[in-house]
Amino acid sequence: MSDRDPFAALDAGRPAWDALGAFVPAPQPEIAGADAGPLAGLRFAAKDIYDIAGFVTGCGNPDWARTHAPAGDHAPVVKWLLEAGASLVGKTITDELAFSLNGQNFHYGTPTNVNAPGRIPGGSSCGSASAVAGGLVDTALGSDTGGSVRIPASYCGVFGLRPTHGRISLEGVMPLAPSFDTAGWFTRDAQLLRRVGEVLLGEPKGDEARWRRLILAEDAMALAKGPVQEALAPLVAGLEQRIAPAERAQVAGADLSLEDWMWHFRHLQAREIVATLGAWIAETNPSFGPEIQERFDWAHSIREEQAEEARPLRESFAEALKTLLGEDALLIMPTAPGIAPRCDGDAEALRAHRTAVLSLTSISGLSRLPQVSLPLARVEGCPVGLSLMGPAGSDADLLAFAEALCHSDEESAAL
């Protein structure tokens, strides 16, 4: 391995067509989809936490790959896409054990963010977002525990959905924090996002006309940097013209801030991660990159009493959001507080940015609600996402509205 290029040895293991470093440097599954189906002719990739029969699920860490046997079967979501006609072309890089929002894997490198050169793709579904943004595949599976679909979608300028918690099977998928883990996927257009959703949700196209109210999350918007707020303002105005003037709300409530709720999320997540992965870590003593090692060390420092305090608070937060949204309201918020940080950014600045990111993403995590990120704005030439969140189980209607919204915007731009 050269001192000039620490990942030079990995390049030989990547597919020849992967110019973005988005795929794991290992033999790739290439599985043709069914001859006919709603996704026939499309190419997809799977984040390397999804089981593919005959291949080791590496989860972004060489020691995990070394200590696990090849999968005996495909994860159900992979099967469903294959049965719908889409062809699997490979497994994409993830942050180690899916425990980061940066997309900078210490062992396998940082996938290229083609829409924000020199900036991180976001994690942990970094390879999937990179591959979709760069046109290597039409769609790709990711996962979202603390923002790992939504944040890469915003940073890379693609569409992404975190579904209602528990709505899509996670069988055959590496668990991280089970009460927060969800499947998810990326596309370059809203129509395909919806079409993939019909397959994975197992229900027909939703009702785009369901939505009668808009709620602007003022405290969430306040976490976004000024240029992001300015870039999103015309989009909010357009939504108001389409549906109704937006109500203003403080999602955190009167007594706590979004950062307070973020810490409750982190304490709960940490205890679940230790319960899920702690025994393997203790037995294997794996080699982690410095950032990930620091994160696991922190997780082990969280006491059960902190999680016990947070559990009933989480339920009260979820109930308050359920009441706020009712059955017909969309919550509007920025997906991320800013554009993707630079790959060579200062570590301390990245930590501060992460706090703001998690203060936004934990809203959906704590409430278990579906959230779609739409790549409809740019700041300094880089993508930034607008997010819409709906009531539990409204995934199909959310996707149908996103498609209708983006289709009408395209029509307006063509006039």
Residues with a known catalytic role: 47, 124, 148
Say how far apart CA 141 and CA 183 lie, in whole Å: 7
Look up tokens 């063509």; give the residue: 414
Q: How many other C-beta atoms can be found within 10 angstroms of the C-beta atom of residue 300?
A: 13
Structure tokens given for 294? 């620091």
Structure tokens given for 120? 């991180």
* CA 257 to the chain's CA centroid: 23
Phi/psi region, residue 109 (left: phi>0; alpha: psi -120 to 50; beta: rest), is left
Alpha helices in 148-216 (DSSP H): 150-156, 190-201
Nearest residue to 99 (alpha-carbon basis) of 184, 174, 154: 174
Say how far apart CA 239 and CA 217 lie, in whole Å: 14
Say how far apart CA 39 and CA 78 lie, in whole Å: 13
Q: How many other C-beta atoms can be found within 10 angstroms of the C-beta atom of residue 18?
A: 26
Structure tokens given for 83? 């049965």
Say how far apart CA 400 and CA 389 lie, in whole Å: 13
Nearest residue to 162 (alpha-carbon basis) of 415, 311, 361: 361
Nearest residue to 43 (alpha-carbon basis) of 13, 72, 23: 23
Beta-ladder partners of 386: 334, 374
Look up tokens 């950062």; give the residue: 259
Q: What is the DSSP letter of 334?
A: E
Q: How many other C-beta atoms can be found within 10 angstroms of the C-beta atom of residue 227?
A: 15
